[in-house]
């Protein structure tokens, strides 16, 4: 019994070293844009709200070093719905207080920077103030990783608004995430930019966690052909199979279609994360013969 427990601990440690995204605690979901103005922050704030509506304790971290806007957007969404409590913090003015910049420089702990929102299930770590130049060296990223691990103990899920494009900072955030949601507009150039971002990243570490979000679509028929081209290109040149895409409707007369799509995405992600957690708790070497049989059938059907 002792030998089996020791082998299980070694197996779990090896799994976590190979993929930090599987570490215990609330999983991390990274949202990135293929282009500027792709709608990443809108998708991140909307998804955070829908996960909170499902009863999850959600942390939204504005890690967008280019144009941080999560605080302002959350404030405007709250004001639009006329649901601001009397003692609600002014998120739009959060740049006057501590931000992600203080966490990266080691001046503050992340828990000291978190802001409450109108939703008691959702908290925000505001982005860097305009004009600030945060440290992005190895020490800063090490501090951010450690703070992220500490935050995950008190959250069901952590969302990262990563900004757009691909650079060393965004690539590292992708590696920390258990799911990477790549937001693109519904046009060929957006598709090319999406593929470029994946190609420039450590794409060999994105297996099983990359999903394309085709934003501002008229209907599913607009998103499906683009997603198929993206999937085929990734499989052919990167040996990478993305997860099924999600179409996010354009906001026209009402936000309800977009909210409905994000609600379905939140439910889908919740199921995916639960399955991943179960796989971590029950490594393949420790599964029962019955479980092996079920998984073999699933694998056979997938290969077919």
Kindly report, residue by residue over 208-251, the tens digit of the pLDDT: 999 999 999 998 899 999 999 999 999 999 999 999 999 999 98
Model confidence at 132: pLDDT above 70: yes
Examine residue 7 and state whether it is found in any structural domain, yes or no. Answer: no
Q: How far apart are CA 275 and CA 227, in angstroms?
A: 24
pLDDT tens column, 49-74: 999 999 999 999 999 999 999 999 99
For residue range 80-99, what is the model confidence (pLDDT) as tens digits? 444 444 444 566 455 568 99
CA–CA gap between residue 40 and residue 215 (Å, rounded) = 9
Token pair recorded at residue 126: 């505001």
Residue 30: pLDDT over 60:
yes
d(CA 159, CA 256): 22
**Any domain includes 19:** yes
In angstroms, the CA 226 to CA 17 distance is 35
Task: Round the average pLDDT of the chain to a whole number and report it.
Answer: 84
- Terminal alpha carbon distance of the chain: 39
**Do residues 23 and 35 touch, judged by C-beta distance below 8 A?**
no
- The total domain count for the chain is 1
Pairing relationship of beta strands 122-125 and 115-116 according to DSSP bridges: antiparallel
How many angstroms separate the CA atoms of 275 and 21, rounded?
14
- Average pLDDT value for residue range 15-20: 49
Q: Is the pLDDT of residue 286 over 80?
A: no
The predicted model gives 133-162 an average pLDDT of 94
For the four alpha carbons of 217, 223, 226 and 231, in that order, the dihedral sign comes to: positive
* 82 falls within a domain: yes
Residue 15 confidence (pLDDT) above 80: no
2 in any annotated domain: no
The answer as to whether 112 is a domain residue is yes
**Angstrom distances, CA of residue 283 to CA of 21, 160, 177, 195, 275:** 16, 28, 20, 32, 12
Taking 50 as the threshold, does the pLDDT of residue 185 lie above it? Answer: yes
Mean pLDDT of 185-202: 96
| Strands, sheet with 115-116, edge to edge from the N-terminal-most edge strand | 115-116, 122-125, 58-62, 157-164, 28-33, 179-184, 210-217, 243-249
pLDDT reported for residue 130: 82
Say how many C-beta atoms besides its own lie within 10 A of residue 253's C-beta: 6
Which of 7-11, 119-123, 147-151 shows the lowest mean pLDDT across its residues? Answer: 7-11
pLDDT value for 26: 83
Q: What is the CATH number of the domain that holds 17?
A: 3.40.50.300
The answer to whether residue 4 is domain-embedded is no
Least confident stretch, 3-12, 33-42, 283-292: 283-292
Residue-level pLDDT at 279: 61
Q: Which domain holds residue 67?
A: 13-303
Q: Who's near 152: CB < 8 A, 6+ residues apart?
A: 23, 24, 25, 26, 27, 28, 158
What SS3 state is found at 203?
helix
User: Residue 5 domain-assigned?
Assistant: no
The verdict on residue 8 lying in a domain is no
Residue carrying the six token digits 């203080």 = 102
């Amino acid at each position: 019994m002792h030998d089996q427990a020791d082998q299980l601990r070694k197996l779990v440690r090896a799994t976590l070293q190979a993929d930090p995204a599987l570490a215990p605690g609330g999983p991390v979901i990274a949202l990135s844009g293929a282009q500027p103005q792709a709608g990443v922050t809108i998708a991140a704030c909307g998804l955070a709200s829908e996960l909170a509506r499902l009863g999850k304790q959600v942390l939204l971290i504005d890690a967008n070093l280019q144009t941080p806007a999560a605080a302002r957007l959350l404030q405007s969404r709250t004001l639009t719905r006329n649901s601001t409590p009397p003692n609600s913090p002014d998120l739009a003015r959060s740049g006057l207080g501590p931000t992600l910049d203080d966490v990266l420089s080691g001046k503050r702990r992340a828990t000291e920077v978190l802001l409450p929102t109108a939703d008691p299930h959702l908290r925000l770590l505001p982005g860097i103030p305009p004009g600030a130049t945060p440290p992005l060296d190895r020490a800063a990223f090490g501090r951010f990783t450690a703070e992220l691990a500490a935050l995950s103990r008190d959250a069901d899920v952590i969302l990262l608004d990563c900004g757009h494009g691909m650079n060393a900072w965004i690539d590292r955030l992708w590696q920390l995430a258990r799911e990477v949601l790549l937001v693109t507009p519904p046009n060929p150039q957006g598709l090319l930019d999406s593929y470029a971002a994946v190609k420039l990243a450590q794409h060999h570490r994105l297996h099983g966690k990359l999903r394309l979000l085709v934003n501002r679509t008229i209907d599913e028929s607009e998103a499906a052909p683009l997603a198929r081209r993206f999937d085929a290109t990734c499989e052919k040149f990167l040996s990478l199979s993305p997860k099924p895409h999600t179409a996010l409707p354009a906001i026209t007369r009402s936000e309800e279609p977009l909210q409905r799509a994000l609600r379905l995405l939140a439910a889908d992600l919740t199921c995916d994360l639960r399955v991943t957690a179960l796989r971590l708790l029950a490594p393949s070497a420790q599964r029962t013969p019955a479980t092996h049989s079920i998984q073999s059938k699933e694998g056979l059907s997938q290969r077919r």
